[in-house]
Amino acid sequence: MKIFEYKDPTVENGKYVIFEMGNAENINPIEFYRDAYIQKQIAMYWAISPDLKKEFAKRNLELSKTELDKLFKKRSISDWEEFYAEKSKTKISSNYLSLLKTSKKAEQQKLLKEQKISTYELFALIMHAYKEFGLKFSQYIFNHTQKGIDPTELTDFTHLKEDGTIVTSRETELSDGQLKQAIEHRVVMIAKFIGDDKNWHCFFTNYKSLKGKEKAYKNGKAHFHYISDKWGLSKEEVINELSKRKYKLPSMPHLDISE
């Protein structure tokens, strides 16, 4: 987990806290998500620490940086335990549970026909696969900038606010219009694998789909794609394709992301 902070010049004392989970390969998913969640929570507590200090002061409490750090870590661990206890119990469709046991492509396609899945259901499935079958977890994120733009001119952080204004981490030669285009036309792919290098299931999507801007599928319905080792491709071959701006993979099931 990488954490970045950037000032928001449009808001007094405002700032953005950015979390980047990054890649993982053949690991325990519980530990992966636990570490990321706790780091994120600690960062968020520090982000609001000025307000917390004011509340403590009203109660005549003076906490040192070390004491605050211990408090935030303890609270973050408790937050994770509560989150994990709730989300890992998310109901998993029997079709997805059967998916983990199938050995034929046709059976997998049949199980996934017209299926939906929520992000928490996928989280629960990843946890279930590890706890019940020892299936490890891998995650790969691929970023591609807009064609025709000099990558050196792009800032580390660029945010398009709801009112249309642009916030960046530094000055750049690019205009606001060019920065908006860079955001709209970048490609970010997220692929999650359950299993090892020989027997695996892959659920992948991209930012464009999550934002409802892939109009070719159900007029922009957010969705995951599914592919597995039963498609006759190696994990390495699939990762290599997904790392490209435009991948080429065989026809595969689409899973609508439910609310």
pLDDT (tens digit per residue) in 128-172: 999 999 999 999 999 988 888 877 888 888 888 888 888 888 888
- Are both 233 and 207 inside the same structural domain? yes
Q: Both 38 and 52 in a single domain?
A: yes
Quote the domain boundaries for residue 50.
1-21+30-87
For residues 55-79, give the mean pLDDT: 89
3-state DSSP assignment of residue 69: helix
* 13 and 56 part of one domain: yes
Reported as a single tens digit per residue, the pLDDT across 186-238 is 899 999 999 999 999 999 999 889 988 888 888 889 999 999 999 999 999 99
Domain count, the chain: 3
* Same domain flag for 63 and 111: no
19 to 2, 103, 257: CA distances (angstroms)? 6, 37, 22
Please name which of 203, 201, 187 lies closest in space to residue 118, comparing C-alpha atoms: 203
What pLDDT score does 140 carry? 97
| Same domain as 194, residue 218 | yes
CA distance 76 to 85: 14
Residues 3 and 52 occupy one common structural domain:
yes
